[in-house]
Amino acid sequence: MWNEESIHTLVERQRRFFRSGATLDVDWRFRQLEKLKQAVLVHRADLERALAADLGRSPLEAYFCDIGSLLLEINETMRGLRRWARPETHLSGLHAFPSLVTKVYKMPYGVSLIISPYNFPILLSLGVLTASIAGGNTAVIKASSKSPHCTALLDEILSTCFTGEYVQVVDGGHDVADLCLAERFDKIFYTGSPRVGTHVLEAAARNLTPTALELGGETGNWSIVRADADLKDAARKIAFFKALNSGQICIDINQVAVAEEVAEDFVRELKAAFERQLGPDPLQNPEYPRLITRAAYEKCAATAERYRSRIIYGGAGDAERLRYAPTILYPIDRDEEIVQRELFNPLLPVVPYPDREIDALLDTIAGREHGLALYLFTRNVRWAKRVLQTQQYGGGCINEVCLHMMVRGVPFNGVGHSGMGAYHGEWGFREFTHPSAVLIGSTRLNLPLREHPYGGAGGKAKRFFIDLFER
């Protein structure tokens, strides 16, 4: 069991290790990433079993969402690390003459704290660890107590790869997380809810610790289906995404707004898509995941009961196995309570709106807390691009769902109540390093332009040259 003393001792051990300079060597970091990759490959079957035990994931879903995505992240980082870590060289400018060269060094922060969630317990712990390693930091991973099989396996895997003074998994509940937050870390990366994100940021502020937050969004992520959309294609992709991990995804569709002119047709296609993918009874499909805890199940079931009269598909649960079927709620008004909070379950409110009033709908969305994702389905790609360049959200797709977070070279991030900071690939390296500008001075040919005295004839000459150089 972790307590205040053991966590403090751990942080101090990692700080001493960091100050030894071992993590500064880029080739050394590369070798640690190789170790991590090989450990994931060796333990693939174990990871799949742990994800099944905690979340009811099928092996394919476990690999696609957590393990395979993690390997892509590690591979991208290994390919780019040496280039990203290379110091930049800049000309200092005439005003700095004769000191002509300035370097920008990408420096690690030091001891990092990674607080990972239960919904993607492998990707959202080891994926962030990949960025921390690339940046040259040590890491304490506070893994979720809600996914105990994955947390135990993470501890086992990482303890075979790394010493605790470099990387250490810490298990336990919120009390242990608070003990970690009471320590002085050099970088904090938290993934989870906005409510807890506020708590993390408050704790970080006590030590002015640089912090990245990846949050789900206070009022959830919207999908909009315009009247001109390919309804079958949209329904197919939305059904896939809502069933994935039983809706427990930070970038999942929280509610879908559908042009009322095509709403009935869309709902019919959505029902058919769920049935094609999961069969007539999703609760009997062994590939359909479960909700993480009894509390999560009961919250989902209670919400469904409040809207029982508007359930047009699904609405059934299996309390023993913590499964709740994908459930369509229709029609739902855009101002109802259910579409003003993140659901994090397989309930899907469908909000009809007049297609001619799309601007009013966008104003409603913009007036709420910024989502982590925004998904638009329309044949008018030009309109969609314009919207996605004017709304505030983390990331999104046009005529697609979720795949933007798997694209190499692009950031994954939120804004406001959906987060701050960014990672994946080079963006993760940047998140776990700070750029230090160092001017290399010269001891010869120094001109006294910046020095006193500033008056008299000499001052006029200095003023002339400074004005010339700093325009």
- The structure tokens 């939305």 sit at 238
Q: By C-alpha distance, which of 38, 284, 49, 309 is closest to 161? A: 38
- The structure tokens 């058919």 sit at 272
> What is the DSSP track for 300-341?
HHHHHHHTGGGEEE---EETTTTEE--EEE-S--TTSGGGSS
The crossing angle, in degrees rounded to 10, of helices 26-42 and 68-85 is 170
CB atoms within 10 A of CB 181: 21
Question: Do residues 94 and 82 make contact, with C-beta atoms less than 8 angstroms apart?
Answer: no
Q: By C-alpha distance, which of 343, 347, 376 is closest to 362? A: 376
Structure tokens, 189: 């990366």
User: For the chain, what percentages of helix, strand and coil (3-state, to nearest 5) are there?
Assistant: 50, 20, 30
Structure tokens, 115: 């607080």
88 contacts: CB under 8 Å, gap ≥ 6: 103, 104
Give the C-alpha separation, 337 to 89, whole Å: 54
User: Which residues are known to be catalytic?
Assistant: 214, 250
Q: By C-alpha distance, which of 351, 398, 340, 80 is closest to 217? A: 340
